[in-house]
Amino acid sequence: MALVTSTEMFKKAYAGGYAIGAFNVNNMEIVQGITEACKEEKAPVILQVSKGARAYANHTYLVKLVEAAVIECPEIPIVLHLDHGPDFETCKACIDGGFTSVMIDASSKPFAENIEITKKVVEYAHDHGVVVEAELGTLAGIEDDVKVAAHEASYTRPEEVEEFVTKTGCDSLAIAIGTSHGAYKFKPEQCTRNADGILVPPPLRFDVLEEVSRRLPGFPIVLHGASSVPQSFVKIINENGGKMPNAVGVPEDQLRQAAKLSVCKINIDSDLRLAMTGTIREFFNEHPDKFDPREYLKPARANIKELVRHKLRDVLGCAGKA
């Protein structure tokens, strides 16, 4: 199977009450860990590349890594998606360069300007058989070059979504309902603590999601900043020389609930980083004599694979849907 767009995936996901995992890729081990899990679990998948990933690994290397995954995993549909395209030029470069889906993120711009920029990307993308994700509302947090202070973040205004989707022609819409980028999604003072002293974040705004869905029936919604920041990996990092106090994410049961509703794409990046970093830190601590990168990247890749497998089965619900 060649690379596909997300159109069919989202239709099936919407009807089936599950979501597709959109995992960020930056190098070979991450691509392999994700796609091996998806292959074994028979899950469709979106591999996404941020502006930062293109700067780090180079556009061509990433495209070729994903093309290799397509060859190695012919049983599953794979989308190659641009995450947080900052402008028309970046989106155009990815559309011309083999991507099947792009995001234009003009959510920090005024409403009319967001519509204008998104519409321009949609026209170019659709002419080339590529689909477009847009964003309304702003998420707090840090993801590569996207930095938004908590006080500048705002929930999506449901009364704007129909006009935005109609005027831009976008194929899916990322909304802000309380998720945020990074491994510190909530400040301790926003949270309560459970019996084990673990931070419990405030719930997502399902009322906003439901109102958006009511206004856009059948339309695929996207959640960014949806890592759960597994405390097992935070603990491993902190016990092996790391320093990540109060790292906290979105509880997985809330993501499962969103996936049953109109959310068809859930972005996961920080959790992969935590799995990789935790594994490597532990390895270095336990084997100070080792220096072959394959020896520590192999267990890191294996733990990314197991993490993705868990997401597919227990959070996204897309295992067996390829």
Catalog residues that contact Zn ion under the rule CB under 5 A.
Answer: 224
Please, which residue, 227 or 254, has the CB nearer to Zn ion?
A: 227
Torsion of CA 139, 125, 73, 22, to 10 degrees: 10
Residue 71 CB neighbour total at 10 angstroms: 9
Residue nearest to Zn ion (CB): 224
Distance CA 140, CA 64 (A): 32
DSSP code string of 165-176: HHHH--SEEEE-
Phi/psi-derived region of residue 188, left when phi > 0, alpha when psi is between -120 and 50, beta in every other case: alpha
| CB 50, min distance to Zn ion, A | 8
By beta-carbon proximity to Zn ion, the closer residue of 24 and 168 is: 24
Least Å from the CB of residue 146 to Zn ion: 7
Q: How near is the Cβ of 131 to Zn ion at its closest, in Å?
A: 17
| Nearest in space to 88 (alpha carbons), one of 39, 123, 42, 47 | 123
Q: How far apart are CA 84 and CA 51, in angstroms?
A: 7
Instruction: Reply yes or no on whether 83 is catalytic.
Output: yes
Q: Which is nearer to Zn ion, 138 or 279 (CB)?
A: 138
**Residue 8 to residue 92: CA distance in whole angstroms:** 23
Residue 300: partners with Cβ closer than 8 Å, 6 or more residues away:
29, 33, 275, 276, 279, 280, 283
We find the least distance from the C-beta atom of residue 223 to Zn ion, in angstroms, to be 9
| Smallest separation (angstroms) from Zn ion to the CB of 181 | 6
Torsions phi, psi of 86, nearest 5? -80, -20
Burial tier of 59 (Cβ tally within 10 Å: 0-12, 13-18, 19+): middle
| Alpha carbons 249 and 191: distance in angstroms, whole number | 11
* Residue 41 or 144 having the CB closest to Zn ion: 144
Q: For Zn ion, give the closer residue by CB, 224 or 301.
A: 224
Check if the beta carbon of residue 152 is closer than 8 Å to that of residue 26: no
CA distance 190 to 90: 36
Choose among 85, 23, 96: nearest CA to 315. 23
**Distance of closest approach, residue 136 Cβ to Zn ion, in angstroms:** 13
Q: Which is nearer to Zn ion, 39 or 224 (CB)?
A: 224
The catalytic residues are 83
